[in-house]
Each structure stands twice: as structure tokens, then as C-alpha cells.
A = this chain, B = another copy of it.
Amino acid sequence: MTRTVNERADAVAALAEIFREFGYEGASLSLIGARTGLGKGSLYHFFPGGKEEMAASVLAEIDGWFARAVFAPLREDPDPAAAIRRMFRETDAYFRSGRRVCLVGAFALGDVRDRFAARIATYFAAWRDALADALRRAGRAEGSAAEEAEHVVSAIQGALVMARAVDDPAVFVRALARLEAGLGLAEP
């Protein structure tokens, strides 16, 4: 039994890795079938909308994970500095210390930008705004918080690009450390 997927949630998780590795156009249905161990029949049973619905489901899953694990704490944790430190920890873990790319960023640069434009924009804006909120609650001035948040989110993306480009995950780890230190939060 080479079956690796038993329900839709498993399928979405597997699809995420496949899209990360091969991109949207590069992930053919035959490749997806081989990787998930699911035939086309099963795939279209889970995702009647075909490949586009598969990718949309993956993006929704990513969005949901970040909303729960990162954005919500940034907005709601009574200790905003702790929430920001947690953001860096979760980000490092999620991106496997630079060995995993950001699918949303890859889609933003790639051929499917327009197809998922709304969801891509929402993901980045939500991250930036949640971080700005935490910075404000931690005592930053309005304008400074917004600018700093935009910088951190965009620099994280850049570190993922460069880590992958030069094939050195340490680039990402160094960037996270530098960004966190640059915010000058009190240690717990």
C-alpha cells in the first residue's frame, strides 16, 4: 500500500509541498498523482475544480495557519513583545530555517500571480498589519510601526529568496536574527 493520503486534509498538506517544489505549472496532475498516491479520480473527487482548486485550498490552508499561529497573537497577546518573539520562532520553524520557500511569495513572483492575486495580497497585508499593530502596542509611534513592519515582512521574504538562490539556509537564519535584534525588544 503506497497510499500516503487518507483524507482531504492530508491531500492539501501533500499538495503544498508539491507546489512549493515544482511551482503551479510545474506540478502536473500526473506528478501530483504519483506523489500523493491518488489517482485522477480521487483527486477530482476531493477537488472538483481541478488544479486551480487544489492550489486555492493550499493557499487557504497556509493563510489559516499563519492567522492562527502568528497574526492572531500579534494582535491579541497582552504582551506584544512576546508575540513578536513568537512570530520569529514560528517563522523559523515554518520555513524550516530557510530550507522551505514561501509558496505565497513564489506565486506572487510567478505565472499564477493574477489568478490568486487577492489571496496573495491579503496574506502579505495581514502579516504586515498584524506586526505593525503589535509594534504600536509595544510603544512604537504610528508611522514608525508601519514602516518597520513592512520592512520586516519584506526582508523575511527576501531572505527566503536569497537562501534558496545561493542554496544556503543559513542566510535565512542570519536574517531573522538581525531583524529581531533590530526591533530592540526587551528580552523576556
Q: Which residues of A contact B (CB under 8 A)?
A: 22-23, 25-27, 101-102, 104-106, 108-113, 117, 120-121, 123-125, 128, 147, 150-151, 153-162, 164-167, 171, 174-175, 178
Q: Which residue from B102, B109, B178 sits with its C-beta under 8 Å from A106?
A: B109
- List of B residues within 8 angstroms of A154 by Cβ: 155, 158-159, 161-162, 171, 175
Cα-based distance from A104 to B165 in the complex (angstroms): 8
Copy number in the complex reads 2
- Contact between B161 and A157, CB atoms less than 8 A apart: yes
| Identity of the chain B residue whose Cβ is nearest the Cβ of A168 in the assembled complex | B121
Cα-based distance from A153 to B165 in the complex (angstroms): 12
- Contact between A161 and B26, CB atoms less than 8 A apart: no
Q: How far is the CB of A146 from chain B (nearest CB, A)?
A: 10
Cα-based distance from A86 to B147 in the complex (angstroms): 24
Cα-based distance from A23 to B104 in the complex (angstroms): 15
- Contact between B108 and A164, CB atoms less than 8 A apart: yes
Q: Which residue from B22, B106, B158 sits with its C-beta under 8 Å from A155?
A: B158
Instruction: Decide yes or no: A108 and B165 within 8 Å by CB, A25-B23, A154-B158, A158-B158 being known contacts.
Output: yes
Q: Which residue from B121, B166, B174 sits with its C-beta under 8 Å from A147?
A: B174
Q: Which of A26, A120, A124, A165: most chain B Cβ within 10 A?
A: A165
